[in-house]
A and B are shown apart, each in its own frame.
Chain A
């Protein structure tokens, strides 16, 4: 299996631009998590899905952030408009139901100028 695949690996954009991060979970996994990591705040859970349905989005910082999972093999995290404080590494992770072994992607490093 190729593991959790995230794209892009690096993104540099200007304030006000829309950013879309993509994630392909491991086939057969039905839980998907989005995290954000910064030096100041550590690893924060933003939102997670079970069977493509958002279960808890209380970690999403504000309305500028949105996440979708249109099918079992794809999810997006969108920031519109982006701000410099959104600069971070964004991780996607997936797991199978009934297990606690999360598999993480390599992350998307976002820099907003």
Chain B
């Protein structure tokens, strides 16, 4: 799986958009970009994923650059409950693939 690089921490004001970057310059053509988050001591929770196109769901938007070497997770109106560690993972969905989490970005949403 391609390696990802994320900033260790970020702050965001409540009500503003939170933009979390992820670099994955060695991504290959059949690898997806996945985003998960972990709130305090809970298990990580799936947010969104994409291959080439931008994606949006009820939780967030995912913007993938045209060359696919980086992506941004956008939380359009961050709330205090969005304070969490956000993980960017690049992997295929092939049979037998592992699922490795890096250190992620600790997002603090400030009142």
Contacts and interface: CB of A to CB of B under 8 A. Distances in A.
Nearest to B103: A42
Given A45-B100, A107-B41, A107-B43, A102 B36 contact: yes
If over half of A's interface residues share one DSSP class (helix, strand or loop), that class is named, otherwise mixed; here it is strand
Interface in A36-94: 42-43, 45, 48, 50, 55-56, 89, 91, 93
A48 B98 contact: yes
Interface residues of B, number: 23
A101 B46 contact: yes
Nearest to B49: A100
Interface stretch (B10-18, B58-66, B71-79, B89-97): B89-97
A105 interface: yes
A91 B99 contact: no
A55 B97 CA distance: 9
Given A33-B98, A104-B45, 19 more contacts: A4-B43, A35-B101, A42-B104, A43-B38, A45-B98, A45-B99, A45-B100, A50-B96, A91-B44, A95-B99, A99-B93, A100-B34, A100-B46, A100-B91, A102-B44, A104-B43, A106-B42, A107-B41, A107-B43
